[in-house]
Amino acid sequence: MNKGKVFLVGAGPGDPELITVRGLEAIRRADVVVYDRLANPRLLKQMKPGAEKIFVGKLPDKHMIKQEEINRLLVDLALQGKTVTRLKGGDPSVFGRVGEEAELLAENGIGFEIVPGITSAIAVPAYAGIPVTHRDFTSSFSVVTGHEYPNKTYSNINWDNLAHASGTIVFLMGVANIETICSQLIGHGRDPGTPAAVIRMGTWMEQRTVVGTLDTLTGLVQAAQMQSPAIIIVGDVVKLREKLAWFEKRPLFGRRILVTRAREQASELVRLIEEQGGEAVEFPVIRIARPEREEAIRALDEALGNMEQYNWILFTSVNGVEYTFQRMAELRIDVRAMYRAKIAAVGPKTQEALLARGLVADLVPNSSFQAETLLELMKQFVRPGEHVFFPKGDRARPVLSEGLRQFGAYVTDADVYENTLSLEGGEETMQMLQAGEIHAVTFTSSSTVTNLLEALRKLGEPDPAGLLNRLELFSIGPVTTDTAAANGLNVRTTAEEATVASLVEAIARSNGAERK
């Protein structure tokens, strides 16, 4: 059997967007990913289907797997012909013991590649508003391990030189030894009033920063109960934090928010949450797919075949647009068959999806982008006896169809897509919910409400509504809010407009009110 290859990859300091392009490629190529606790688990979502993941994380003073065993594991996996990615927090060459792993690989004739990562020594201070160098303070910095081997107290650190160095000093993995570190620096001549800080979980949602001086920092850290993983930074650059802190000031900082809409639709919501400083946890409880029932397919094809008879075509979602044109293309129905029809869209996103296909909607509500609003608008323009085509999802409410029929229009509605329950990522999400690691939930449709509750029940939660009511619940519109209330959920805020942007604004306002 041919030998595999091992990628020794730095995952960066925690924020998954700080991994290198090459590192991300290595994750996607891997047959096996061997990872530790400082590598953000969100990166594992990039693994290809069927790839294996092996956790070899270590906790302070409690090594789950010895380093020698990890080294051997990498060799054994590669000898099986597998492509292996060893994912390590920060940069693998900065106290990451990558040299030991690479040595054994080389001794066994296994090809490897070291992929550098952004070290927490520079990234974590930057996220706390502390650049490690600044022309007004210092042009150099030192990176020092905060601990060495067990029972070995800084024998390789020249404290005299370190204390008198003019630059910034960054200690990694040293919070447990902070009292010794501070006393050693002061004892070897560093000014006790030198600014210093400890940053815990830097670049993560849980980032916390304590600022003091060498003679006060130990007490402040103990009072704040700061624990590993954390870094210590010493030097005048710490003074800049008050002015330059940016990460912790973003509107959604510290908020981990559950996104429940279908993966195909979630990208904009995820992007807006993370632009505002939050962390989006995707649990797409909805899977959108074309109809599989034969009767639904026949009804849709017949409706599409009669396109030239419609006076109006009504679209109430981006999915409705996507799947209608997808099926038209499969049936080779020319878009010019719509020539007689005016087009109505429920809101701006649906309008944009139509415009991307060269169609300008004739009717779009100015606000409150929901079926009831569109119905009232259409009644001003649709005449009794006209033919309306409504391509919809299988769970669409009957508001539009029934309302237009009562008004005297002939309505042909057909399911162009189906909404089914998805449990993808469910176990991980359940663990985060039960551990209190998720702070808020977004509902973007009635289906996301009912599907999330059903998903949690299927995953073994006896009281889904009770579990969710511990969190802040946000809804995109009144119909969704009503569905939530009918299912025993207490929605904190409903977006002013039924748009993703308005939903994120509502979350940011709520978070801002809590900070005051």
Q: What is the pLDDT of residue 263?
A: 75
pLDDT for position 345: 94
Instruction: Specify whether 130 is located in the same domain as 199.
Output: yes
- 280 shares its domain with 426: yes
Query: Are 105 and 154 found together in one domain?
Result: no
In 299-409, beta strands by DSSP E: 312-315, 342-345, 387-393
Q: In what order do the strands lie in the sheet with 195-200?
A: 141-145, 168-172, 230-234, 195-200, 208-213
Q: Say whether both 10 and 103 belong to one domain.
A: yes
- CATH of residue 203's domain is 3.30.950.10
**Tokens 């229009």 sit at which residue?**
409
The structure's pTM equals 0.80
pLDDT tens-digit profile of 120-134? 999 999 999 999 999
**Looking at 25-75, which runs of residues are DSSP E strands?**
32-35, 52-55, 58-59, 62-63
What's 489's domain CATH number? 3.40.50.10090
Q: Are residues 325 and 440 in the same domain?
A: no
Same domain, 338 and 272: no
67 and 46 belong to one structural domain = yes
Residue 59 has pLDDT above 60, yes or no: no
Please check the confidence at residue 367 and state whether its pLDDT lies above 80.
no
Of 419, 446, 461, the residue at which a domain comes to its end is 419
Q: What is the pLDDT of residue 70?
A: 93
User: Tell me, what CATH number does 114's domain have?
Assistant: 3.40.1010.10
Whether 138 and 236 have beta carbons less than 8 Å apart is answered as: yes
One domain for residues 324 and 441: no
Q: What pLDDT, in 10s, does the model give residues 447-483?
A: 999 999 999 999 999 999 999 999 999 999 999 999 9
Rounded Cα distance, 78 and 2, in Å: 9
Residue 151 confidence class, pLDDT cut points 50, 70, 90: very low
227, 232, 236, 238: CA torsion to nearest 10: -40
Mean pLDDT of 416-445: 92
* pLDDT attached to residue 516: 55
List, as own/partner pairs, every contact residues 466-469 make where C-beta atoms lie below 8 angstroms and the sequence separation is at least 24, other chains included. 467/433, 467/434, 468/433, 468/441
Active site residues: 36, 58, 173
Mean pLDDT of 96-107: 94
Mean pLDDT of 249-255: 93
Domain co-membership, 359 together with 382? yes
List the domain range (segments joined by +) for residue 37.
5-118
Across 319-326, average pLDDT: 95
Reply yes or no: is the peptide bond before residue 16 cis, omega within 30 of 0.
Answer: no
Same domain, 435 and 414: no
| Domain count across the chain | 4
DSSP string for residues in 172-190: ES-GGGHHHHHHHHHHTT-
Cα 430 to Cα 436: distance, rounded to the nearest angstrom: 10
Q: How many CA atoms lie within 13 A of 389 on its CB side?
A: 26
What are the pLDDT digits (tens) for 378-409?
999 999 999 999 999 998 889 999 999 999 99
For residue 147, the model assigns a pLDDT of: 67
Query: Could you give the CA distance from residue 42 to residue 53 in angstroms, rounded to a whole number?
Result: 13
Chain-centroid distance, C-alpha 131: 26
Is 446 in the same domain as 412?
no
Do 441 and 468 form a contact (C-beta atoms < 8 A)? yes
Q: Which of 499, 497, 495, 498 is nearest to 508 (CA)?
A: 495
The whole-number pLDDT of residue 149 equals 43
**What is the predicted pLDDT for the residue at 337?**
94
User: Which of residues 394, 419, 444 is at a domain's end?
Assistant: 419
> Are 506 and 466 part of one and the same domain?
yes
